């Protein structure tokens, strides 16, 4: 969403040029905000006037940027100021001002960004609590992120045509869902394929039925995650038509998850001290648990990380993903079944050992009986021989 201040100046040539060249809506929004903040700091100067000054004397702009950094560096993080620098650099480059501003010098004045990455992934117990308290739509988001490791931005433009179940036929003719194939960033340069667990697909199907129950006709082009609707048919001032689905933007999903985690007391403190990120934490959960069964290079592939020389087939990736499903499934029922299965294997092993011991004992007993029979015959022959000699 472009800030109001940028929209008001959308007819300015400099702003039109600035808005070109973005491949990500989130980057565009962030850069716009940083540009607006910079213009407001300098007495609400317009973008066109800023460009005019840059054409007359680029060094003036350099001093303006340095003044801004010096004033703001005690109030915001180094990474925020680096992004402001990037936004301004983009603004001037898109308006053909490439010389006269020492961007390297500005970078040196900006404080180093604090290292991140100390946040953890949510535990399986925490995710179980989330699923227990979440509505169906939120459950879909949680399970999609934790079972596939997708980024929150992947939800933008995602439709029902991007997901399809993969069935497995058993000897008795019955079919079960092995996993579901998910196409991420379809039609984009970053497009890749990953999978979600049968548990996740079952919740998506449940979500789909709830939407169909209020009259929505879901097609392959329908948004996978949509806005909420009003179930109160008696409300006179209804603003939303349930049958008309509006895609839920990734930013809205992120905010929704943040509010949800606060509501269930899994998020405390300020944004810099959260133990796990509201969406990215699930990506860490996926990587950590998938690597319990798969090679790191395959997990990276499933997460959409490019590797120019490693091109495994989809069937191979599916087979590898299936190995990780027990570690990516959140339901306690599945975990309990797995434990029972393991216990049965252990029990069968013990029974097998006992049976082998019984066979061994029986064999030894048979040998003893055979030896006893032979010894008995020898003793009888000896006694008979002694009797005859007398």
For 269-309, the pLDDT digits (tens) are 655 567 778 888 999 999 999 999 999 999 999 999 877 78
- Whether the predicted pLDDT of 91 surpasses 60: yes
The per-residue pLDDT for 154 is 93
- Whether the predicted pLDDT of 99 surpasses 60: yes
Of 21-35, 258-272, 287-301, 354-368, the range with the highest mean pLDDT is 287-301
Q: Considering only 105-109, 185-189, 325-329, 367-371, which range has the smallest mean pLDDT?
A: 367-371
- Whether the predicted pLDDT of 10 surpasses 70: no
Q: What is the mean pLDDT of residues 355-371?
A: 75
Question: What mean pLDDT, rounded, does the chain reach?
Answer: 85
CA-CA distance, 276 to 278, in Å (whole number)?
6
Q: Which of 177, 163, 264, 298 is nearest to 218 (CA)?
A: 163
The per-residue pLDDT for 220 is 96
- Whether the predicted pLDDT of 11 surpasses 60: no
Q: Which of 228, 283, 235 is nearest to 260 (CA)?
A: 228
User: Confidence class of residue 18 from pLDDT cuts 50, 70 and 90?
Assistant: confident
pLDDT per residue over 132-188, tens digit each?
999 999 999 999 999 999 999 999 999 999 999 999 888 777 889 999 999 999 988
Q: What is the mean pLDDT of residues 351-374?
A: 74
| Six-digit token string for 238 | 């209804």
135, 140, 142, 146 alpha-carbon torsion, rounded to 10°: 160
The per-residue pLDDT for 382 is 65
- Whether the predicted pLDDT of 75 surpasses 80: yes
User: Confidence class of residue 346 from pLDDT cuts 50, 70 and 90?
Assistant: low
Q: Considering only 95-99, 248-252, 332-336, which range has the smallest mean pLDDT?
A: 332-336
Q: What is the mean pLDDT of residues 265-269?
A: 76
CA-CA distance, 69 to 188, in Å (whole number)?
36
The per-residue pLDDT for 256 is 93
The per-residue pLDDT for 360 is 76
User: Confidence class of residue 81 from pLDDT cuts 50, 70 and 90?
Assistant: very high
Q: What is the mean pLDDT of residues 26-46?
A: 88
- Whether the predicted pLDDT of 235 surpasses 90: no
- Whether the predicted pLDDT of 27 surpasses 90: no
The per-residue pLDDT for 344 is 60
User: Confidence class of residue 126 from pLDDT cuts 50, 70 and 90?
Assistant: very high
User: Confidence class of residue 390 from pLDDT cuts 50, 70 and 90?
Assistant: low
pTM: 0.67
The per-residue pLDDT for 377 is 74
């Amino acid at each position: 969403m472009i800030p109001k201040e940028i929209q008001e100046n959308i007819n300015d040539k400099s702003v039109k040029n600035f808005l070109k060249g973005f491949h990500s809506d989130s980057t565009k929004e962030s850069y716009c905000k940083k540009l607006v903040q910079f213009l407001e700091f300098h007495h609400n100067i317009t973008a066109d006037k800023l460009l005019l000054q840059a054409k007359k004397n680029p060094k003036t702009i350099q001093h303006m940027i340095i003044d801004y950094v010096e004033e703001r560096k005690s109030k915001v993080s180094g990474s925020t100021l680096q992004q402001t620098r990037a936004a301004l650099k983009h603004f001037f480059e898109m308006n053909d001002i490439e010389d006269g501003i020492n961007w390297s010098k500005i970078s040196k004045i900006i404080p180093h960004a604090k290292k991140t990455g100390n946040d953890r992934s949510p535990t399986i117990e925490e995710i179980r609590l989330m699923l227990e308290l979440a509505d169906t739509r939120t459950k879909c988001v949680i399970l999609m992120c934790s079972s596939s490791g997708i980024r929150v931005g992947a939800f933008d433009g995602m439709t029902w045509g991007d997901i399809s179940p993969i069935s497995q036929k058993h000897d008795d003719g019955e079919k079960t869902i092995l996993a579901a194939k998910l196409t991420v960033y379809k039609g984009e340069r970053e497009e890749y394929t990953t999978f979600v667990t049968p548990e996740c697909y079952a919740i998506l199907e449940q979500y789909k039925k709830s939407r169909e129950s209020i009259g929505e006709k879901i097609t392959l082009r329908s948004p996978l995650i949509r806005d909420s609707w009003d179930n109160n048919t008696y409300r006179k001032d209804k603003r939303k038509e349930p049958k008309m689905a509006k895609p839920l933007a990734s930013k809205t999903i992120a905010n929704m998850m943040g509010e949800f985690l606060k509501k269930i007391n899994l998020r405390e403190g300020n944004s810099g001290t959260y133990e796990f990120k509201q969406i990215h934490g699930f990506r860490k959960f996926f990587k950590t648990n998938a690597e319990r069964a798969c090679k790191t290079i395959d997990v990276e592939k499933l997460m959409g990380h490019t590797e120019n020389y490693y091109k495994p087939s989809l069937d191979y990736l599916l087979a590898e993903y299936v190995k990780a499903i027990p570690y990516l499934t959140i339901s306690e029922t599945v975990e309990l079944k797995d434990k029972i299965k393991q216990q049965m294997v252990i029990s069968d092993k013990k029974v097998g050992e006992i049976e082998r011991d019984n066979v061994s004992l029986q064999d030894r007993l048979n040998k003893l009986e055979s030896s006893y029979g032979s010894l008995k015959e020898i003793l009888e022959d000896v006694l008979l021989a002694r009797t005859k000699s007398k």
